[in-house]
Amino acid sequence: MLETAAAAAAASASSPRAAAAAVVSSPRRGGAAAHHHRQWSPPPFRACLVVLWLVGFGFVILWQGTSVGRVRLYTRPPMPKRAAASLSLGQWVASPPVYDLREFGAVGDGRTVNTAAFESAISAIAERGGGRLTVPAGRWLTAPFNLTSHMTLFLAAGAEILGIQVSSDLVSNKFGHNGTINGQGQSWWVKFRRKLLNHTRGPLVQLMRSSDIIISNITLRDSPFWTLHTYDCKNVTISETTILAPIAGAPNTDGIDPDSCGNVVIKNCYISVGDDGIAIKSGWDQYGIAYGRPSANITIQNVVIRSMVSAGVSIGSEMSGGVSNVLVENVHVWDSRRGVRIKTAPGRGAYVTNVMYRNITLENVRVGIVIKTDYNEHPDEGFDPKAVPTIGNISYTSIHGHRVRVPVRIQGSAEIPVKNVTFHDMSIGIVDKKHHVFQCSFVQGQVIGYVFPVPCKNLDLYDERRELVKQSTLQNISDIDYSF
């Protein structure tokens, strides 16, 4: 497994689809042969990053407070302390080099195009096998650029990276003193709406086939398309991140899209965007089935989301690699069309299983909890309609809220029945209608203790001591009503 991951990580730097991507990949990249006899190896990359990050704060202070010389200290390669063979990998032995973007001629006036400065800084870091690029306060206009492995892009307070409005796909990543990456997506949204684009728009930050990534304390705004797309990545932490886009008229500006990723933590974030806040995915129909890379072990905690045109937290609709072991906890969804949603369709195959929602607050939301199994959008005619997904083992615990029109709409079908859904401790203030607001079809599961509004007849009822009160015989009846 690890070898595969390493190979995939190595591929990332040269994959064309890594364009405009912030690629931070595994320390194992660089070719298997070179590694076989090496005597020194870097610490696990997660540790590297954390160290870099902490050291980073020191540097920012030092650098701002005292001398540029301190930074320059690292502009020459450190003396090698080990065999030349593995040095070709370019790993640093002492401290990682630290560069300031201005050393490469960049000007942060919001008008000068700094793409070349970013590129030379990053190739300097690549040559050294890693390091840190500090982007100081200022407005740094640039076309898309690639990151490299073992790199920290550190945005100081007041730093803003601005995407050029005319280029094809966009910019890069990540953590620091709550600096901003601004995709300036307005012109893209307009072109998309007028159908003037021949290609898909680029995400603002894209990480592909990489591992051990930390994105923290940064603001990402006005992405042309999805804001932060992690694709086929492992060990990703996204925290203290603010993601903003207009809540209307900014098509497809999803906040975070973990896509075929394992071990992802998203916590302490604020997201207000023009599409889904967070959308967990794993590939689309026959292509996703063939690629076969699930999204699994995903934790979303302490996140506030507004999604006026779509959903707070979505799973799917592209889930053909499978989605499992998802915890969504302490999440507040407000002024949104949907709260937490699972979407799929025949043709997707795979599964969505072991999903736990806990302590979810819904405020002014049209439909709170959604499972939809007929989302029939397909990439082309080549999908297999017999590839039906299985959906089950989903629990909703401590779900509260007010001003919700339809708290629950779980729409299984004869082909894709929804199995083993559990509700425990739910009370949601509804807007007006008192009937048909807990809608179900083809769903099997249970309600434990008191739940408001009154649950659909499809579910078995248990008391708080987990003793059966009433077993349902009507799992397949349908009470789905789209009229409100």
Ligand X SMILES: *[C@@H]1O[C@H](CO)[C@@H](O)[C@H](O)[C@H]1NC(C)=O
Chain residues binding ligand X by CB under 6 A are 5, 14, 16, 18-20, 26, 46, 144-146, 157, 177-178, 180, 196-198, 211-212, 217, 219, 234-235, 240, 242, 262-263, 294, 296-297, 325, 330, 332, 351, 353, 359, 361, 390, 392-393, 395, 414, 417, 419-420, 422, 442, 475-476
CA of residue 295 relative to chain centroid, distance? 11
| Residue 95 or 330 having the CB closest to ligand X | 330
Residue 242, exposed/middle/buried by CB under 10 A (0-12, 13-18, 19+)?
A: middle
Give the residue among 326, 302, 218 at the shortest CA–CA distance from 314.
326
Whether 212 is catalytic is no
Distances (CA, A) of 8 to 43, 212, 229, 258, 271: 20, 13, 17, 17, 30
> Least CB distance from residue 427 to ligand X, whole Å?
14
Q: How many Å separate Cα 477 from the centre of its chain?
A: 36
Distance linking the first and last C-alpha atoms of the chain:
48
The whole-angstrom separation of Cα 199 and Cα 169 is 10
At its nearest, how many Å lie between ligand X and the CB of residue 484?
26
**Looking at beta carbons only, is 199 or 435 nearer to ligand X?**
199
Torsion sign (Cα): 122, 125, 131, 134: negative
39 φ, ψ to 5°? -105, -25
CB of 76 to ligand X, least distance (A): 26
Query: In angstroms, rounded to a whole number, what is the distance separating the alpha carbons of residues 160 and 220?
Result: 9
Which residue out of 232, 257, 259, 275 is catalytically annotated? Answer: 275
Least distance in Å: CB of 473 to ligand X? 6
Q: Which is nearer to ligand X, 65 or 69 (CB)?
A: 65
CB 313 within 8 A of CB 328: yes
- Lookup: tokens for 22: 């912030």
Q: In this complex, which beta carbon is closest to ligand X, that of residue 75 or of residue 113?
A: 113
Name which of 80 and 105 has its Cβ closer to ligand X: 105
- Let me know if 422 is exposed, middle or buried by CB neighbors in 10 A (0-12, 13-18, 19+): middle
Q: How far is the CB of 252 from ligand X (least distance, A)?
A: 17
CB of 128 to ligand X, least distance (A): 18
User: Which CB, 79 or 166, lies closer to ligand X?
Assistant: 166
The residue written with tokens 């990489």 in the block is 210
Q: Tally DSSP H helices, then E strands, for the chain.
A: 8, 24
**Active site residue ranges:** 275
